[in-house]
Amino acid sequence: MQTNHSIVHPFWVIVNKEISDIIKSWRFIIMLAIVLLTCTGSLYTAFTGFATAKPTNDPEESFFFLKLFTISDGTLPPFIVFISFLGPLLGISMGFDAINSEQNKGTLSRVLSQPIYRDYVLNAKFLASLIVLSILFFSLNLLVLGFGLVIIGIPPTAEEVLRILMFSVVSIVYVAFWLNLSILFSVRFRQATTSALAGISIWLFFSIFYNMIVNVIAKGISPRQMISEYQLVSLQKLIQNIMRLNPGQLFDDATTTLLVPSVRSLGPLTMEQMSGAIPSPLPLGQSMMLVWPQVTALFAGTLVFFGLAYLLFMRREIRSR
């Protein structure tokens, strides 16, 4: 990258160091091992499922390759479920001690007494994690693609490859969302354990309890008497929108649409709307239009948390220890 003789900009010096720190850290190696193991498992079940399935003219079956990510024979959840479950944990594990551990070790005041802007530290830590995540997800998905090619023997179409790359981008945005949340906690909480627990409890809340709570709400507000079709639709829409406050739901919506092209809508459709529709998969552009709000919301959440962390960090007085 850089030669020994040229001056490396201090920002990239920090990024370089952070990347090497992440890669050498035990927690990243452990998370990586978990992700690789579960993904191998789910891929294996997907491949065994493939033995019985063959490409046909059925539109549901035409995107053969994408099925690698979404199908399962029931023994293990499919690939995307693992990503949506483990992704947040990966993000939290990379960010929860970003700032507070440096502060507690006394290295933050030493680094900040060098001639660098304060935000370099925060930005470099975020960027370093993002670079590692991007490499991880792109290589993971391309590996799946490669294995699929070897084992199935049918090359993916260009659209399938594009959809898989889009899926990688959405995964990165999703994990970056959790990464920024945990960086925010690492700025806010002085103890790394507090910030890790705060991050994990929010993750648990959204991945386990949130759906239960929404179900209770749905039961409470659903009318007991017969209602019109439109009222039913609007009720369903309301509940769905409450569900979408959960970042995991946004991610699931987005990835399902990208990887299952036959998904035509993420909301309820009336029979009227369905009539006349040809049961064919959506083109990539239309699928992307469908998930644009979800991806934008995830992106916005990422930015909000980063902004908050930035604000807190810049106004903070840096004392040693």
Partner 1 sequence: MAEPIIQLQNISKKYGDFTAVDDLSLTIEKGEIFGLLGPNGSGKSTTILMMLGLTEPSAGEVKVCGIDSTSHPIEVKRKVGYLAEDVGFYDDQTALENLVYSAMLNGIPKKEATQKAEDLIERVGLTGVKNKKTGKFSKGMRQRLGLADVLVKDPEVIILDEPTSGIDPKGVQDFLNLIIELRDEHGISILFSSHDLQHVQQVCDRIGIFLEGKLMAVGDIRSLSAKLLTSGRYLIELGADNSSEAGKKLTLGWFQKLASSMNEIDSVSEENGLFKVLSSQDISLVLSKKIMEEGYNLNFLNKKEFGIEAIYNHLMEGGTAYAN
Q: Which of 102, 77, 93, 119 minimizes the C-alpha distance to 175?
A: 93
Stretch that binds partner 1, among 86-94, 105-113, 270-278, 287-295 (CB under 8 A): 105-113
Stretch that binds partner 1, among 4-12, 61-69, 78-86, 195-203 (CB under 8 A): 4-12
Within 8 A by CB and 6+ apart from 19, the residues are 128, 131, 132
Task: Write down the least CB distance from residue 6 to partner 1, Å.
Answer: 6
Please list every residue from 218 through 257 that binds partner 1, using CB under 8 A: none
Q: Which of 232, 71, 220, 217 minimizes the C-alpha distance to 144?
A: 71
Contact between 52 and partner 1 (CB under 8 A)?
no
Contact between 127 and partner 1 (CB under 8 A)?
no
8 A C-beta contact, residue 301 and residue 176: no
Stretch that binds partner 1, among 17-25, 44-52, 141-149, 288-296 (CB under 8 A): 17-25
User: Counting beta carbons within 10 angstroms of the beta carbon of residue 179, is it exposed (0 to 12), middle (13 to 18) or buried (19 or more)?
Assistant: buried
Task: Write down the least CB distance from residue 7 to partner 1, Å.
Answer: 5
- Considering only 53, 60, 117, 289, the residue that binds partner 1 (CB under 8 A) is 117
Contact between 321 and partner 1 (CB under 8 A)?
yes
Label residues 152-174 b or e (16+ Cβ within 10 Å = b). Answer: beeebeebbeebbebbbebbbbb
Q: Which H helix or E strand runs over 298?
A: helix 284-315
Of 76 and 116, nearer to partner 1 (C-beta) is 116
8 A C-beta contact, residue 70 and residue 82: no
- Considering only 56, 75, 113, 265, the residue that binds partner 1 (CB under 8 A) is 113
- Considering only 48, 56, 75, 107, the residue that binds partner 1 (CB under 8 A) is 107
Of 8 and 227, nearer to partner 1 (C-beta) is 8
Give the interface size with partner 1 as a residue count (CB under 8 A).
30
| Alpha helices (runs of H) in 71-209, residue ranges in sequence order | 79-95, 100-105, 107-112, 118-152, 158-188, 192-204
Torsion angles phi and psi, residue 263, rounded to 5: -70, 120
Task: Write down the least CB distance from residue 151 to partner 1, Å.
Answer: 40
What distance lies between CA 295 and its chain's CA centroid?
A: 10
- Hey, what are 86's tokens? 């483990």
Of 15 and 66, nearer to partner 1 (C-beta) is 15
Contact between 106 and partner 1 (CB under 8 A)?
yes
User: What is the DSSP track for 51-77?
Assistant: TT----S-HHHH-TTTHHHH---SSS-
Of 10 and 41, nearer to partner 1 (C-beta) is 10
Task: Write down the least CB distance from residue 25 to partner 1, Å.
Answer: 9
Contact between 110 and partner 1 (CB under 8 A)?
yes
Of 224 and 315, nearer to partner 1 (C-beta) is 315
Of 15 and 170, nearer to partner 1 (C-beta) is 15
How many angstroms separate the CA atoms of 163 and 66, rounded?
8
Of 114 and 241, nearer to partner 1 (C-beta) is 114
Contact between 1 and partner 1 (CB under 8 A)?
no
Handedness of CA 115, 121, 124, 125 (dihedral sign): positive
Contact between 24 and partner 1 (CB under 8 A)?
yes
Stretch that binds partner 1, among 3-11, 214-222, 279-287, 288-296 (CB under 8 A): 3-11
Give the footprint of partner 1 on this chain (CB under 8 A): 4-10, 13-14, 17, 21, 24, 105-117, 317-321
